[in-house]
Protein backbone atom coordinates (compact mmCIF):
# COMPACT_ATOMS: atom_id res chain seq x y z
CA UNK A 1 0.00 0.00 0.00
CA UNK A 2 2.69 2.50 1.00
CA UNK A 3 4.46 1.64 -2.27
CA UNK A 4 2.38 4.32 -4.03
CA UNK A 5 4.47 7.00 -2.33
CA UNK A 6 6.83 8.03 -5.15
CA UNK A 7 9.70 9.56 -3.14
CA UNK A 8 12.31 7.99 -0.88
CA UNK A 9 14.05 9.63 2.11
CA UNK A 10 17.02 7.33 1.43
CA UNK A 11 17.61 8.85 -2.03
CA UNK A 12 20.43 11.30 -2.75
CA UNK A 13 18.08 14.26 -3.53
CA UNK A 14 15.93 13.72 -0.40
CA UNK A 15 17.72 16.16 1.89
CA UNK A 16 17.67 18.78 -0.91
CA UNK A 17 13.93 18.18 -1.23
CA UNK A 18 13.39 18.63 2.53
CA UNK A 19 15.51 21.83 2.70
CA UNK A 20 13.54 23.26 -0.21
CA UNK A 21 10.23 22.43 1.47
CA UNK A 22 11.42 24.10 4.65
CA UNK A 23 12.56 27.21 2.75
CA UNK A 24 9.26 27.34 0.87
CA UNK A 25 6.70 26.61 3.54
CA UNK A 26 8.01 26.78 7.14
CA UNK A 27 7.23 30.46 7.58
CA UNK A 28 3.58 29.96 6.56
CA UNK A 29 3.24 26.79 8.65
CA UNK A 30 4.64 28.46 11.77
CA UNK A 31 2.35 31.47 11.32
CA UNK A 32 -0.77 29.30 11.15
CA UNK A 33 0.24 27.03 14.02
CA UNK A 34 1.17 30.07 16.12
CA UNK A 35 -2.25 31.64 15.52
CA UNK A 36 -3.96 28.45 16.70
CA UNK A 37 -2.14 28.93 20.00
CA UNK A 38 0.34 26.06 20.05
CA UNK A 39 2.34 26.65 23.19
CA UNK A 40 3.73 25.45 26.49
CA UNK A 41 2.68 21.99 27.60
CA UNK A 42 1.05 20.94 24.30
CA UNK A 43 1.22 17.36 23.17
CA UNK A 44 1.86 17.38 19.39
CA UNK A 45 2.04 14.74 16.67
CA UNK A 46 3.94 15.70 13.52
CA UNK A 47 3.14 13.14 10.80
CA UNK A 48 5.49 12.51 7.86
CA UNK A 49 7.96 14.75 9.66
CA UNK A 50 10.53 14.57 6.82
CA UNK A 51 13.57 16.69 7.68
CA UNK A 52 12.13 17.65 11.08
CA UNK A 53 11.99 21.46 10.88
CA UNK A 54 8.33 21.61 11.98
CA UNK A 55 8.91 19.07 14.77
CA UNK A 56 11.84 21.16 16.05
CA UNK A 57 9.78 24.34 15.96
CA UNK A 58 6.86 22.65 17.75
CA UNK A 59 9.24 21.34 20.42
CA UNK A 60 10.41 24.91 21.02
CA UNK A 61 6.82 26.11 21.43
CA UNK A 62 5.73 23.16 23.61
CA UNK A 63 8.66 23.60 25.98
CA UNK A 64 9.84 21.17 28.66
CA UNK A 65 6.28 20.38 29.84
CA UNK A 66 5.14 19.55 26.31
CA UNK A 67 6.02 16.78 23.91
CA UNK A 68 6.36 16.24 20.17
CA UNK A 69 5.98 12.85 18.53
CA UNK A 70 7.60 13.08 15.08
CA UNK A 71 6.70 10.08 12.94
CA UNK A 72 7.71 9.07 9.44
CA UNK A 73 7.89 5.98 7.31
CA UNK A 74 11.62 6.66 7.25
CA UNK A 75 13.13 8.61 10.17
CA UNK A 76 16.70 8.85 8.86
CA UNK A 77 16.46 12.65 8.36
CA UNK A 78 15.08 13.22 11.87
CA UNK A 79 18.37 13.25 13.76
CA UNK A 80 19.11 15.57 16.67
CA UNK A 81 15.59 16.38 17.80
CA UNK A 82 15.38 18.28 21.10
CA UNK A 83 14.86 16.37 24.38
CA UNK A 84 11.08 16.91 24.39
CA UNK A 85 10.67 15.42 20.90
CA UNK A 86 11.02 11.82 19.73
CA UNK A 87 11.35 10.38 16.24
CA UNK A 88 9.43 7.15 15.72
CA UNK A 89 9.05 5.04 12.58
CA UNK A 90 5.33 4.81 11.91
CA UNK A 91 3.27 4.16 8.81
CA UNK A 92 0.23 6.44 9.13
CA UNK A 93 -1.63 4.43 6.49
CA UNK A 94 -1.12 0.92 7.76
CA UNK A 95 -0.68 1.30 11.52
CA UNK A 96 -3.15 2.39 14.19
CA UNK A 97 -2.84 5.88 15.66
CA UNK A 98 -0.72 6.09 18.84
CA UNK A 99 -2.44 5.15 22.08
CA UNK A 100 -2.67 8.71 23.43
CA UNK A 101 -4.51 11.95 22.61
CA UNK A 102 -2.96 15.07 21.08
CA UNK A 103 -3.56 18.82 21.41
CA UNK A 104 -2.22 19.23 17.87
CA UNK A 105 -1.83 16.85 14.95
CA UNK A 106 -0.08 18.31 11.90
CA UNK A 107 0.82 16.85 8.53
CA UNK A 108 2.26 18.79 5.59
CA UNK A 109 2.47 17.35 2.08
CA UNK A 110 1.79 13.82 3.24
CA UNK A 111 -1.84 12.78 2.77
CA UNK A 112 -2.11 14.18 -0.77
CA UNK A 113 -0.16 11.14 -1.99
CA UNK A 114 -2.51 8.51 -0.54
CA UNK A 115 -5.71 7.41 -2.33
CA UNK A 116 -7.46 6.75 1.03
CA UNK A 117 -6.70 10.31 2.24
CA UNK A 118 -10.27 11.17 3.34
CA UNK A 119 -10.48 8.06 5.56
CA UNK A 120 -7.12 8.95 7.09
CA UNK A 121 -8.41 12.39 8.11
CA UNK A 122 -11.22 10.71 10.07
CA UNK A 123 -8.67 8.36 11.67
CA UNK A 124 -6.47 11.30 12.72
CA UNK A 125 -9.42 13.30 14.06
CA UNK A 126 -10.03 10.38 16.44
CA UNK A 127 -6.57 10.88 17.96
CA UNK A 128 -7.28 14.46 19.06
CA UNK A 129 -7.85 15.40 22.67
CA UNK A 130 -11.07 17.37 23.24
CA UNK A 131 -10.33 20.90 21.96
CA UNK A 132 -7.31 19.64 20.00
CA UNK A 133 -6.51 20.87 16.47
CA UNK A 134 -5.92 18.89 13.30
CA UNK A 135 -3.92 20.98 10.82
CA UNK A 136 -3.32 19.67 7.32
CA UNK A 137 -1.29 21.48 4.69
CA UNK A 138 -1.21 20.44 1.06
CA UNK A 139 -0.06 21.95 -2.19
CA UNK A 140 -1.99 22.66 -5.37
CA UNK A 141 0.73 21.57 -7.80
CA UNK A 142 -1.06 22.64 -10.96
CA UNK A 143 -1.44 26.20 -9.65
CA UNK A 144 1.99 27.48 -10.74
CA UNK A 145 2.51 30.37 -13.16
CA UNK A 146 5.69 31.42 -14.93
CA UNK A 147 6.31 35.00 -13.70
CA UNK A 148 9.55 35.81 -15.50
CA UNK A 149 11.56 33.99 -18.15
CA UNK A 150 14.64 34.83 -20.23
CA UNK A 151 12.87 33.49 -23.34
CA UNK A 152 9.79 31.57 -24.41
CA UNK A 153 11.75 28.32 -24.93
CA UNK A 154 12.65 28.25 -21.21
CA UNK A 155 9.01 28.68 -20.17
CA UNK A 156 7.97 25.96 -22.65
CA UNK A 157 10.44 23.38 -21.36
CA UNK A 158 9.51 24.25 -17.77
CA UNK A 159 5.79 23.72 -18.41
CA UNK A 160 6.38 20.56 -20.41
CA UNK A 161 8.67 18.72 -17.92
CA UNK A 162 6.82 19.97 -14.85
CA UNK A 163 3.54 18.83 -16.43
CA UNK A 164 4.99 15.33 -17.01
CA UNK A 165 6.17 15.19 -13.37
CA UNK A 166 2.66 16.03 -12.17
CA UNK A 167 1.13 13.45 -14.54
CA UNK A 168 3.46 10.86 -13.02
CA UNK A 169 2.50 11.82 -9.44
CA UNK A 170 -1.20 11.64 -10.30
CA UNK A 171 -0.74 8.19 -11.81
CA UNK A 172 0.98 7.13 -8.56
CA UNK A 173 -2.18 8.10 -6.63
CA UNK A 174 -1.69 11.78 -5.69
CA UNK A 175 -4.80 13.97 -5.90
CA UNK A 176 -3.47 17.33 -7.05
CA UNK A 177 -6.81 19.02 -6.37
CA UNK A 178 -7.36 17.67 -2.85
CA UNK A 179 -5.91 20.72 -1.08
CA UNK A 180 -8.86 22.87 -2.13
CA UNK A 181 -11.28 20.45 -0.47
CA UNK A 182 -9.51 20.47 2.93
CA UNK A 183 -12.22 22.52 4.74
CA UNK A 184 -14.95 20.10 3.56
CA UNK A 185 -12.88 17.06 4.47
CA UNK A 186 -12.09 18.41 7.96
CA UNK A 187 -15.74 19.31 8.57
CA UNK A 188 -16.75 15.89 7.24
CA UNK A 189 -14.55 14.32 9.92
CA UNK A 190 -16.73 16.02 12.55
CA UNK A 191 -14.32 18.86 13.38
CA UNK A 192 -15.49 22.37 14.33
CA UNK A 193 -14.05 25.89 13.88
CA UNK A 194 -12.82 24.78 10.46
CA UNK A 195 -10.77 27.33 8.53
CA UNK A 196 -8.27 27.49 5.71
CA UNK A 197 -5.82 29.80 3.98
CA UNK A 198 -4.02 29.63 0.65
CA UNK A 199 -0.58 31.18 0.29
CA UNK A 200 1.44 31.60 -2.90
CA UNK A 201 4.94 33.07 -2.99
CA UNK A 202 7.61 33.57 -5.66
CA UNK A 203 10.30 31.01 -6.44
CA UNK A 204 13.17 32.77 -8.27
CA UNK A 205 15.54 30.65 -10.39
CA UNK A 206 18.59 29.54 -8.43
CA UNK A 207 16.87 30.15 -5.07
CA UNK A 208 16.48 27.65 -2.22
CA UNK A 209 12.76 27.08 -2.85
CA UNK A 210 12.81 26.20 -6.55
CA UNK A 211 15.37 23.49 -5.79
CA UNK A 212 12.36 21.37 -4.84
CA UNK A 213 11.50 21.01 -8.52
CA UNK A 214 15.08 20.19 -9.50
CA UNK A 215 15.35 17.58 -6.71
CA UNK A 216 12.08 16.00 -7.83
CA UNK A 217 13.37 15.81 -11.41
CA UNK A 218 16.50 14.01 -10.17
CA UNK A 219 14.56 11.59 -7.99
CA UNK A 220 11.99 10.82 -10.71
CA UNK A 221 14.50 10.81 -13.61
CA UNK A 222 14.17 7.09 -14.40
CA UNK A 223 10.38 7.21 -14.33
CA UNK A 224 10.35 10.30 -16.54
CA UNK A 225 12.68 8.60 -19.02
CA UNK A 226 10.41 5.52 -19.01
CA UNK A 227 7.52 7.89 -19.83
CA UNK A 228 9.45 9.11 -22.88
CA UNK A 229 10.57 12.50 -21.54
CA UNK A 230 13.85 13.23 -23.42
CA UNK A 231 16.89 13.48 -21.08
CA UNK A 232 17.88 16.69 -22.92
CA UNK A 233 14.58 18.28 -21.84
CA UNK A 234 15.19 17.30 -18.21
CA UNK A 235 18.68 18.82 -18.34
CA UNK A 236 17.29 22.00 -19.91
CA UNK A 237 14.54 22.07 -17.24
CA UNK A 238 17.23 22.04 -14.51
CA UNK A 239 19.19 24.80 -16.26
CA UNK A 240 16.04 26.94 -16.38
CA UNK A 241 15.42 26.36 -12.66
CA UNK A 242 18.96 27.54 -11.90
CA UNK A 243 18.64 30.72 -14.00
CA UNK A 244 17.98 33.86 -11.90
CA UNK A 245 16.18 35.41 -14.89
CA UNK A 246 13.48 32.75 -14.48
CA UNK A 247 10.83 33.00 -11.73
CA UNK A 248 7.78 30.85 -11.12
CA UNK A 249 5.05 31.20 -8.52
CA UNK A 250 5.28 28.61 -5.75
CA UNK A 251 3.05 25.60 -5.55
CA UNK A 252 0.19 27.27 -3.64
CA UNK A 253 0.02 25.90 -0.08
CA UNK A 254 -3.44 25.37 1.39
CA UNK A 255 -3.49 25.14 5.19
CA UNK A 256 -6.69 23.73 6.68
CA UNK A 257 -7.54 23.36 10.35
CA UNK A 258 -10.37 22.04 12.47
CA UNK A 259 -10.95 21.42 16.15
CA UNK A 260 -12.40 18.53 18.09
Task: Give the residues lining the site for ligand SAM (CB under 6 A).
Answer: 2, 5, 9, 18, 21-22, 48, 50-51, 71-74, 91-93, 108-110
> Cβ of residue 135: shortest distance to ligand SAM, in angstroms?
12
Nearer Cβ to ligand SAM (90/236): 90
> Cβ of residue 4: shortest distance to ligand SAM, in angstroms?
9
> Cβ of residue 243: shortest distance to ligand SAM, in angstroms?
25
Burial of 233 (0-12, 13-18, 19+ CB in 10 A): middle
Query: Please, how many CA atoms are within 13 Å of residue 65, restricted to the half-sphere of its CB?
Result: 5
Residues with Cβ within 8 Å of residue 120, at least 6 apart in sequence: 92, 93, 111, 114
Cβ atoms of 190 and 258 within 8 Å: the answer is: no
Nearer Cβ to ligand SAM (9/154): 9
Nearest residue to the partner ligand SAM, using Cβ: 50
φ/ψ of residue 197, rounded to 5: -145, 155
Nearer Cβ to ligand SAM (92/157): 92
> Cβ of residue 238: shortest distance to ligand SAM, in angstroms?
20
Distance between CA 239 and CA 236 in Å, rounded? 5
Nearer Cβ to ligand SAM (50/141): 50
Nearer Cβ to ligand SAM (74/118): 74
> Cβ of residue 165: shortest distance to ligand SAM, in angstroms?
13
Burial of 39 (0-12, 13-18, 19+ CB in 10 A): middle
Nearer Cβ to ligand SAM (105/109): 109
> Cβ of residue 52: shortest distance to ligand SAM, in angstroms?
8
Q: What are 215-222's contacts with CB under 8 Å, separation 24+?
A: 215/13, 215/14, 215/16, 215/17, 215/20, 216/7, 216/13, 216/17, 216/165, 217/161, 217/165, 218/12, 218/13, 218/16, 219/7, 219/8, 219/11, 219/13, 219/14, 219/17, 220/6, 220/165, 220/168
> Cβ of residue 203: shortest distance to ligand SAM, in angstroms?
16
Nearer Cβ to ligand SAM (5/158): 5
Amino acid sequence: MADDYPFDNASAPASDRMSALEASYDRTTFEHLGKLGVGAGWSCWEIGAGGGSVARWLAGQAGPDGHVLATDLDTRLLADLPANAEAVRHDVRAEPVPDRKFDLIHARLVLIHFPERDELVAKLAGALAPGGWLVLEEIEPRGQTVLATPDEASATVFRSVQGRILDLLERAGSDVEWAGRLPEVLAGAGLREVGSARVTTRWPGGGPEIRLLAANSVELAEKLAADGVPPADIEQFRRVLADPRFTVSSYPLVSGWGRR
